[in-house]
Copies of this chain bind each other. A is one copy, B any other.
Amino acid sequence: MQKIVISLDAMGGINAPTSVIEAAFNVAKLNPRVHFLIFGLEDKVVSILQALSFPEERYDFIATKDVIQDRDKPLHAFKNGKESSMRKAIDAVKDGLAHACLSCGNTGALMVTAKMVLGTLPGVKRPAIAGAFPTYENKLIMLDMGANNECSESVIFQFALMGRCLAKVVLQIGNPSIAILNVGEEETKGRELEQKSYELLKSSGLNFIGYIEGHDIVRGKADVVVTDGFSGNLVLKASEGAINMFMTLLKEISKSSGFITLVGAFLLKRALKKKLTRIDPNVNNGAMFIGLDGIVIKSHGSATTFGVTNAISLAYELANRDINAQIIKEIKNLEERGIGLNFVEKIKQTSAKILGIPT
């Protein structure tokens, strides 16, 4: 039985290291194939491992001296964080000791460090943060959720290709539909970025369904939604904010409705909560830094043990299915159909040839 090894930065996130180690413990209990490399401060981590009676054969604990803080600037974290739990967890992937790594810590620091340490897949211009967006009907993958504040249309096109691969592997959809996030559905809507990206995707022959608006994302009207990292992050957080508000509201009512003890109220609440599960950010927790030459999963900084458990399960799935090999294979197939990572450049060359412009 081949093991899948996941390296964990135990120190990032507001509930860490407890949430991270409890989550690893949960996954280890359910899945005999998983093994963990746990990186963190000895005085914080060891007592938790002992309290859980975490079976010693299921993990290696590697004491690290340093922790990347949420306020650390990404480049500073990369240059000065060589002894940090985050860096060591990424190094483990680079060194072939782990199949995937996970952190709940500083997103910018994790992205920059992972990019510098692991590099990108061949031909990829910019790695992106790709994750399941909370929707009511279906699962939906969005990228970029925050790695690149500003992007060109050729970068957006690459996001579409990589998102397509991820949807095929994770959502098990044969020919995922792709949409561009925009402020309207009409072709004339949006900025130059949306309009140029639209033209590219329209001419690609991929399953491109046009623009999607913010309120249609939650309805899962596309399998993959592409956008720049600034817009993706805004929309994700706004949706999560609204969802969390409802969760709080439900809790408030439960607390204040002491006099409502009838069975009906209980059943109603249960029905509501069951439906809410589908869009709970902790259920959808875990985003992939797609386009890197190694699997790196970012969990929400505020994720609970339950949330981190889901993110670790995602890391396991992506490692087990060898997502990056799938991406490379898929892109090779697309290249053969003339829709590769350098589709934009090829279009430009073709246009230049037709127009007689030297390339």
Contact = CB atoms under 8 A, between A and B. Distances in A.
Nearest to A248: B136
Contact of A269 (B252, B261, B268): B268
Contacts of A266: 264
B230 A244 contact: no
Given A188-B73, A253-B275, A214 B237 contact: yes
Interface in A203-262: 213-219, 229-231, 233-246, 248-250, 252-253, 256-257, 260-262
A71 interface: yes
A169 B229 CA distance: 36
Given A237-B215, A242-B243, A265-B265, A136 B249 contact: yes
Interface string A68-93: 00010100000000000000000000
B231 A216 contact: no
A1 interface: no
A146 interface: yes
Contacts of A253: 268, 271-272, 275
B264 A230 contact: no
A149 interface: yes
A267 interface: yes
Contacts of A235: 214, 234-235, 238
A261 B263 CA distance: 10
Contacts of A231: 230-231, 234
Contacts of A276: 249
Interface of A: 71, 73, 134, 136, 146, 149-150, 181, 183, 186, 188, 190-191, 213-219, 229-231, 233-246, 248-250, 252-253, 256-257, 260-269, 271-272, 275-276, 279
